[in-house]
Amino acid sequence: MIPPGRQHLRELPDRHCLAAGTPLCAGCGGLAALQAVCDLLGEKTVIVNAAGCLTLLAAYPSTPFRGSWLYTAMASAPAGAQGVRDGLDILLDKGAIGTEENLEVLVLAGDGSSGGMGLSATSAAIDRGLDFLYLCYDNEGYGNTGQQASAATPRGARTATSRGPQGHPGAKKDLFAIWAAHRPRYVATVTAAEPLDLARKIETARNLSGPRLLLALAPCPTGWGYEPAEGVAIGRLAVQTGLWPLKEYVDGRVQHSKIPQPRLPVRDYFASQGRFAHLLRPENEQLLAALQDETDRYWQEVEEHA
């Protein structure tokens, strides 16, 4: 039985895995990336959802997903994915289900889980060679509880727990490099603001087996301080300024799928969001210059090794 107000889910085209009109913040970049992943994976998917912003998609007894959905604690999604994958493999081996009933296992988690609380379980799952796709929506903070700083918060960003005159003092943890160090099957950075690049990388990951990561920049209007309609523009600015490199790890090599040329100054990206407004003040001129230098050095190394 579909509860009142959810009857429209039956009317959706079969190609959609995620219902339209899902109950989440307008302008959420993570939801836009998830929509693309779900549309390409289809309904034969088990989504193992770590506690975070996107668990708000589900409202008992319904979810907007046409496939299966499993909720886990923030640190446990890869362990949950292992149980689901093992269960499917046992049923396949016994002939209890046919290959047409096999399902893709997708972990869905935010940056707090992916780079912090759930990193141990993720590392162990990669080491075991678990056949799963991991989608991290990176909104660079604990968005579901008020945008506290996370391991993915960039230097200089203001958060609920980083209120000083220069914002967050730490550096953003490089989750791409951490995954690549495990030598998994595939790792890629994506953003819904670059839909063709996103679609190609989803298809690449879909056609591989083993541990695979899609690390999606997830602009967050409530946590980052911008109007919801500006989300796509902010995602593009992240790429155009070089602050969010679009790259992939495949066959043991890292390659960039888009080189921003000409590259815009990082100031343009910072000026688009309230969380960085303090960086544009005269007293933070040195910090702004240091952030530009870090970005310039990154791309200089890319060009030297091209």
pLDDT tens sequence across 219-258: 999 999 999 999 999 999 999 999 999 999 998 999 999 9
Closest CA to 31 of 212, 204, 192: 192
> Over the chain, what is the mean pLDDT?
91
What ranges do the domains of the chain cover? 7-304
15-33 per-position pLDDT tens digit: 456 655 556 788 899 999 9
Average the pLDDT over 267-290 and give the result: 97
CATH topology for 7-304?
Rossmann fold (3.40.50)
Regarding predicted confidence, which is higher, 61 or 176?
A: 176
**Gap between the Cα atoms of 129 and 212, Å rounded:** 10
Say if CB 111 and CB 141 are below 8 A apart.
yes
**Gap between the Cα atoms of 114 and 72, Å rounded:** 13
83-124 per-position pLDDT tens digit: 999 999 999 999 999 999 999 999 999 999 999 999 999 999
pTM of the model: 0.92
**The two three-digit tokens of residue 42, written as one number:** 């289809």
**Gap between the Cα atoms of 180 and 186, Å rounded:** 8
